[in-house]
Structure 1
Amino acid sequence: MHTIHILGLGAGDLLQLPLGVYRTLKEADPLYLRTAEHPVVKELETEGLRYESFDAIYEKHDDFAPVYQEIAETLIALAENGPVYYAVPGHPLVAEQTVQFLIEAEQAGRCTLSIAGGQSFLDAIFGALRIDPIEGFRLVDGTGLDSNRLNMTDHLLIAQVYDQFSASEVKLSLMEKYPDDYPVTIVTAAGAASERLRTVPLHALDRSAEIDNLTTVYVPPVTEQTQRLKEWQTFRDIIAKLRSPEGCPWDREQTHESLRPYLLEEAHELLQAIEEEDDEAIAEELGDVLLQVFLHAQIGQDSGYFQLEDILEAISDKMIRRHPHVFGDVEVASAGEVVDNWQAIKQQEKPASESLLDGQDRSSSSLLTSYNYQKKAAKVGFTWKDADGAWAKFEEELQEFKDEVANGSKDQQLDEFGDLLFTLVNLARFYGLSPEQAMVQANRKFRTRFLHVERRAKEGGHTFSDYTLDQLDSFWNEAKAGHGEDENHETR
């Protein structure tokens, strides 16, 4: 197993090539190039440079990964017969995937490497753009750009933008976060005598004629907060500002306890949007729910108890831990097995409780607490075998409530009415219904229909007391038949 000597051709012309690398290139035999499309190669050809390039491999594959993998494997095979010299553009350790594959092979004991640097294209880029990297920059591969991983306050350099198609892909990814007219700079042949810079609006990136294999796209930091509204950190900064001494008096006064009703309200509005299959409303209501999460996180940070990172760590750890079939080596055959594993892992995480009902209370909803209690009891067999038993119990509790209404005290009536509601929750469980959601829908339906009754009463120029119950009930039946539903939609 002989050594693969890796050389960097630099980012510019022959004058910028280190003397040691120049001499090695002149004497290298055999010499392989990832690509011959480089200014240094053109100049060395006039001095009789002999080489073999891997440009033909690019024509064999649709993606870059198999190209780079094949080049690396070819070099490893060639090194079995003697030392091999391999030259790449720029610096071998900057944005050079073939070298990364070779390093992995070296770590696996399949080859040995010797790396000699040339000037990185980053040096030339920083000089051309007149930017200081200490301000924060990120170098990314344009062939696999993920806008969700970009920080809009960084200097962003995008390599591997080599033609109009790749420029189009980069443009579409960037437009998921950046404004369509945001200025971006196309840098071609940075550091060489033919260096060119051209600034265009983002939407015109793929229509530039100055794009080739020596192109890097530069996206400057976004300084205006109003242009960074798709950044998580921007939203976090907004909430922190609202809670600051210079912020909003109302937001500063809020506590975990005072925000509880708003979280419930926003959650129900989200459920309503989901039920109505209104995508725009779902996005808006998810934002309102997210606002509550960020407010609670900021309150925790202001109090010194926890912050957003602690929340993220806790939920990320839980998702990884409870999905061993995704993040581990556990195998499952169905969604049912996933649920069983989830519950088993959850039991291991929780300290042993004295009762199955421990942890099932929901202070925000007595209906949900009742549902949770009955579901837990049913899991150990404490329930009727079918809905018939639940119906019989409902009839029994209904009669007992009627008896107490006729002869009992208020406390006895309240007790029996609670039992009646409890049996209704049990019926909902048997039929796979959410009693909480059912009550939400019933309240919304009543509001919509009553608004129609109010409007009809006003149309007659009278007050409610001027109408008989039968007349008001006729208005109600109109709403029930569907009249007035659309015009009342905006009031929901």
Structure 2
Amino acid sequence: MAKINIIGLGFGDIDDLTLKSINLIKNHKNFFRTDKSPAIEYLKENKIDFLSYDKIYESEEDFDNVYNIISEDLIQKAKNYSVINYCVPKTPALFDKVTEILLEKKFKNQIEIKIFNNGGFLEKIYDILEKPITNNVKIIDALELKPTQLDINSDLIIFGIYDNIIASEVKIHLEEVYKEDYRIKVINDFSDKDKCFSIPIYKLDRLDEYNHNTLIYISKTKDDKRNYDMNNLIDIMERLRSKDGCVFDNEQTHESLRAYLVEEAYEVIDAIDNNDVDSLEEELGDLLLQIVFHSQIAKEEGYFNIWNVINGISDKMIYRHPHVFSGESTKDIDEINYKWDKLKNKSKGIESISESMMSIPKDFPMLLKAYKIQKKAAKVGFDWDYKEEAYEKIKEEIEELKLAIDSNTFDDIEDEFGDLLFAIVNFSRFLEVNPHIALNRTINKFIFRFKYIEDTLVKEGKQLEKTSLEDMDILWNQAKKLK
């Protein structure tokens, strides 16, 4: 069976290599991922032949292509020579994609793989940093970095920052989680502690010293109270609910928090309606707190925790988006919405449209409830064909309300008034207007105009209660011209 010895060249000093690795290099064909390694000088001095794959990096634009080409070539050369060495900088099992590919393909290609790491990566890093190794370290490849991988409660080591372009991408992701002036360590040379220096994150892409060894170290933010993540919020809530926590928070239940949850949701909507991004950020935080609060109570009662909530909604999103996660084809948004409703009803055991209508929460805002019910009926064809017909229905309901008022029977008046509201909501669908949002805008508009009347009268030294309706109407019309 052909064999590939994958030899890690450590972090700069050839003396760190084991005697076994040195002997392998002396006795077999050597193929280097890159000749940018201090070991190259040793090979030249000892007249040891080697081949570098640097030219493939220069000829290919896509890194995945580079790694696949190198791995295929190594497999072929192993079959030709029986035993070869593939030499890579640092630690192959941690840093090298080709090693990953070779391990995946070894059975298919009947190749034996033996890895010689040479040197402890973490030990070398923390020696340069002159710090003890923490028990919570996360190591990430810069080319695969995503903000969701970042953990402010762990030490992070991000390697593979070969140039300013990669550094710029890393900076963008870091600034999604950390403050831009949070200080990080840059290590450019594992053999020289002077090449380790501290900079704020915003300067990360402004350096001219990047090379194949460059990595950055980001310490956990334990002592920096400006950075928090989901885990910190959970810890805060657990402390508030502990015996040494807050009396008010300890007394809360799911039932007592209902009003706060609704209030925070409406404050989010208000921030959106006012196009107030700063308020939206704050109100979303308040809404998130309510979710964490309820999850903490449920955890204490032994039902579920916040991670169950996150797992549940993640599973639901994947299940209800087969066109994204399962490769199903979709024609348009209408088909996506149809499949969404079908999957939703299936997961909830709903088999009919009326059951779907009855599944709407009883405390749902009535305008929205009417809107949703009408949309469900419309999906099976129970609807007007044209908006003009829906508008005529409003006029019909107005006439019926007038008759009910003339009859002076309260139940009839209430019935017909409800029918009128229902017809107006139905007409809103044809206009593609959400009635709840529209009414909320009108309420805000009314308050703004009424405040204008009140403020104007105060400036004029007049009292609202003693002002005639005609005078107030003049001010109202003035307010209508203002935004």
Q: Which runs of 5+ in 1 are unaligned?
A: 486-492
What is the Cα deviation at residue 255 of structure 1? 3.1
Aligned residue number for residue 283 of structure 2: 285
Aligned residue number for residue 453 of structure 2: 453
Aligned residue number for residue 336 of structure 1: 334
SS at match of 2:46: coil
Structure 2: distance between partners of 1:253 and 1:364: 26
Aligned residue number for residue 258 of structure 2: 260
Aligned residue number for residue 345 of structure 1: 343
SS at match of 1:477: helix
Structure 1 range deviating more: 418-427 or 124-133: 124-133
Structure 2: distance between partners of 1:198 and 1:162: 17
Contact 1:90 1:120 survives alignment (8 Å): no
Aligned residue number for residue 77 of structure 2: 78
Aligned residue number for residue 7 of structure 1: 7
Cα distance change on mapping 1:127 and 1:262 into 2, 3 Å? same
Cα distance change on mapping 1:378 and 1:159 into 2, 3 Å? closer
Structure 1 range deviating more: 333-342 or 375-384: 375-384
SS at match of 2:152: coil
Contact 2:134 2:155 survives alignment (8 Å): no
Structure 1: distance between partners of 2:468 and 2:358: 51
What is the Cα deviation at residue 207 of structure 1? 4.7
Aligned residue number for residue 51 of structure 1: 50
What is the Cα deviation at residue 277 of structure 1? 4.1
Structure 1: distance between partners of 2:146 and 2:340: 31
SS at match of 1:31: strand
Kindly indicate whether residue 234 of structure 2 is the aligned counterpart of residue 240 of structure 1. Answer: no
Contact 1:273 1:285 survives alignment (8 Å): yes
Q: CA RMSD in A?
A: 2.7
SS at match of 1:213: coil
Structure 1: distance between partners of 2:245 and 2:7: 56
Cα distance change on mapping 1:378 and 1:194 into 2, 3 Å? closer
Structure 2: distance between partners of 1:207 and 1:416: 70
Q: Which runs of 5+ in 2 are unaligned?
A: none
Contact 2:345 2:351 survives alignment (8 Å): no
SS at match of 1:418: helix
Contact 2:128 2:193 survives alignment (8 Å): no
What is the Cα deviation at residue 407 of structure 1? 3.7
Aligned residue number for residue 183 of structure 1: 183
- Give aligned pairs, total: 480
TM-score (norm 1): 0.88
Contact 2:428 2:435 survives alignment (8 Å): yes
Identity %: 35
What is the Cα deviation at residue 20 of structure 1? 0.9
Kindly indicate whether residue 156 of structure 2 is the aligned counterpart of residue 146 of structure 1. Answer: no
What is the Cα deviation at residue 208 of structure 1? 4.9
Write out aligned runs for 1:5-404 (5 A): 5-28=5-28, 30-83=29-82, 84-109=84-109, 111-190=111-190, 192=191, 196-208=195-207, 211-229=210-228, 231-353=229-351, 355-356=354-355, 357-404=357-404
Write out aligned runs for 1:477-488 (5 A): 477-482=477-482, 485=483
Cα distance change on mapping 1:7 and 1:447 into 2, 3 Å? same
Aligned residue number for residue 473 of structure 1: 473
Equivalent AA in structure 1 for residue 345 of structure 2: Q
Contact 1:225 1:234 survives alignment (8 Å): no
Cα distance change on mapping 1:386 and 1:194 into 2, 3 Å? closer
What is the Cα deviation at residue 124 of structure 1? 1.6
TM-score (norm 2): 0.90
Equivalent AA in structure 1 for residue 211 of structure 2: D
Equivalent AA in structure 2 for residue 176 of structure 1: E
Contact 1:3 1:113 survives alignment (8 Å): yes
What is the Cα deviation at residue 389 of structure 1? 4.1
Equivalent AA in structure 2 for residue 98 of structure 1: V
Structure 1 range deviating more: 215-224 or 197-206: 197-206
Equivalent AA in structure 2 for residue 118 of structure 1: N
Give CA-to-partner distance per residue, 1:319-372, whole Å, 9 cap, x none.
111111221142222222222222222232222457343203441312222223
Aligned residue number for residue 490 of structure 1: none
Structure 2: distance between partners of 1:428 and 1:379: 16
Equivalent AA in structure 2 for residue 263 of structure 1: L
Contact 2:453 2:472 survives alignment (8 Å): yes
Aligned residue number for residue 414 of structure 2: 414
Structure 1: distance between partners of 2:45 and 2:91: 23
SS at match of 2:59: coil
Cα distance change on mapping 1:460 and 1:234 into 2, 3 Å? same
Give CA-to-partner distance per residue, 1:29-71, whole Å, 9 cap, x none.
x211112222233234322222111222222234433322222
